[in-house]
Amino acid sequence: MTSDKTDEKDAVLIARLTAQSRCYIPEPVDESWGRLRHLGARRSRLIVDMVTQVQQIRALLECVWPAALDTARQPFRSRTRVAVLRVICERDGGDLDRTHRLGLPRLERAARREITRAGGQKPSLRIIRNLFAALTDPAGVRAHRRGALEQVDLLLSDWAEDQRRVADTEARMVGVLDELALTDLVTSIAGLSAVGAAAILAETGDLTRFPTARAVVKHAGLAPRENQSGAFTGRAKLTGHGRPGLRLAAWRGVWGTQLANPVYGDRYRHLTSREVNRLTPTQAQAAIAATILRHLHAVVTTGRRWDPHIARHGTDPTPTKISTAA
């Protein structure tokens, strides 16, 4: 049930309520699916904690040592930058003057050891040199520098531990997919990883309980909502109802599939460049997220691997143009 407003849908809604009909049956109690749901909830909590820790580290550095944030293009994806921060905050206690006195060669060796300990191979010497040059930058509240960098060290430790926990949780989720014999099916969708599919299925539960793929999309709140009555036609938009966690998991799946999946990539370009009813990039990504849910429902309920030809043209053997529906 959605908040769509048309005379026809009002009549259907009244009829369904009268017959006590629903768009999907309640989720059955199943050990494997229940375990996947709990693991998915744990993964979501850990990701929220990790994002919070990164934002706290960024805020502290902006206050006491803003020059450190300009040393790498993506500072929190750079293993070298994180390793050097650990060295400065842990070995030298946040004393930037001491780190500078010890010299660049010792900082490079310490960063190399830290990266090796974390499972990396070799550091980026450019980033190490940028951080070493930033040691003498006077910007920032110096009186709070030692205490703030101590807090950064603690947050980096928490962040590393949560990364380990997320990796362990994701491995368990993929293990549940293997138990359900779904890993090969869901990963047949180009660009969708086993972890991404597991995160979605942890929110949907067993997809066979949904009679149609549209029911899954409505469950996520990604179905367009019409606003029409008589001669009045309002602006259509997403319902936003359903499971926010499912909507988020499908949205995260867009980023990899949009680049690696030629069908989704072509659909995105079509939706954002067509002359009639052109969508914004965000609207097009929401449409692709809904498409991922529909295709997951198809491969799970039919037991057939994802076929790019069917995904692009449908089951009609005669190729057709890409659908103009959002």
**Structure token pair of residue 189:** 């969708």
Instruction: Indicate left, alpha or beta for 94 from its phi (over 0: left) and psi (-120 to 50: alpha).
Output: left
User: What pLDDT, in 10s, does the model give residues 16-42?
Assistant: 766 654 555 566 778 999 999 999 999
pLDDT for res 261: 93
Dihedral in degrees, nearest 10, Cα atoms 104, 105, 110, 111: 60
**Between the CA of residue 142 and those of 54, 131, 153, 205, what are the distances in Å?**
21, 17, 17, 52
Q: How far apart are CA 299 and CA 317, in angstroms?
A: 19
Across the range 61-69, mean pLDDT stands at 92
% the chain with pLDDT above 90: 61
The whole-model pTM stands at: 0.80
- Give Dmax over CA atoms of the chain in angstroms: 79
Query: For residues 175 and 238, which has the higher predicted lDDT (pLDDT)?
Result: 175
User: What pLDDT, in 10s, does the model give residues 206-243?
Assistant: 999 898 999 999 888 887 766 566 665 555 566 667 78
User: What pLDDT, in 10s, does the model give residues 112-132?
Assistant: 998 888 777 788 899 999 999
| Residue 261 burial by Cβ neighbours in a 10 Å radius (0-12, 13-18, 19+) | buried
